Structure 1
């Protein structure tokens, strides 16, 4: 297959799916394969081959998911992800030919939600994307003003100065909103659903990433680290998220 031109790909099955995907890889044949699998699943797909083009089109397309190669020329995938996180809450799946733990952690540390190591199965990639998209898209969005809270909506969870509104997918610390990514919110929501109960890394992965996910369990550690940093929660003297050495994490029970 030849390299694609810079024009956006046509929409395919948008009316049936409504999901938008941005595929970014400088290997045109690989990008085409990934795009074709997503199009079969009724995604509206746009492909770009450079970081600069990807950032430009992401503002216009507002994708639900970005499949992003780590090793892009010029602006690499790490920097693309870092900039993307300043204006988009899209799920980001990082593609990397580098199998070292350091490269994976670097990608996750700038806001990627998942990673896939090349070579990979396009079917598995699509399954993982589908699993992610079953989770709600909006995180930390303003909750509409209401005279009374919906009777069916769960009450916010309160941990001292921390309030977690699961229904509104909003987090406040000392009355101030905390901007979490969707994955960070989902981790906090899972932990806070059973205060005092220890969650293993694998249990969190199964609950948040779903069964198609395979890889190193330390993915959880990176995202928990992001949550702690945004909450100002010192791991050596935690208020909210506690480490249970050799097992996983638990949420404090303080009201």
Structure 2
């Protein structure tokens, strides 16, 4: 949203003086700024912003680690702002998924210009069809996986014709996989979609729910684990 159109900017910066100056300058351009000091707070608020300004020297986590985790689940534009001047640090930031990189100290007007440029690049080119507002809307209502029948609309599942009762979250996990049976979903994607937190500290909860799906259906292969990648819907051999 370039050229003066206000954005929701998430500022992840532990320097109070710089944060105050940036907040004032960005507000003057019509942007709404939410400032946090810690990386974990930034990850938690990732869905409430249109743009991220990210310092790398954070108290709880290196900013590059936060950026890598953010990029697993979000394409939100990110400009890294840091005192690290080494070329290797700059390259690491860009390879980790930053859209641009500014070395402190920098001029506010340069930051604003770069934000506009990054925002313009983030707008889909003319002629590209927009993504559907709800990807699930195009999914089939009934999915068959071997003798397992999953009714996504009615939220019902049967195995060999017999009904099986899953908890709400167990069904939500299974439904996410069933909507696109051939697609592998990462742990972060599933946690983000079902729990609303891609970086849930107690992510073992996902393992428990998948174990519940396998046990209650009696079909261990219904949810396939791809080591180091994620999960997809499976069909019993």
Normalising by the residue count of structure 2, what TM-score does the alignment of the two structures yield? 0.50
Q: Which has the higher Rg, Structure 1 or Structure 2?
A: 2
Whichever structure has more helix as a proportion of its residues is 2
Normalising by the residue count of structure 1, what TM-score does the alignment of the two structures yield? 0.46
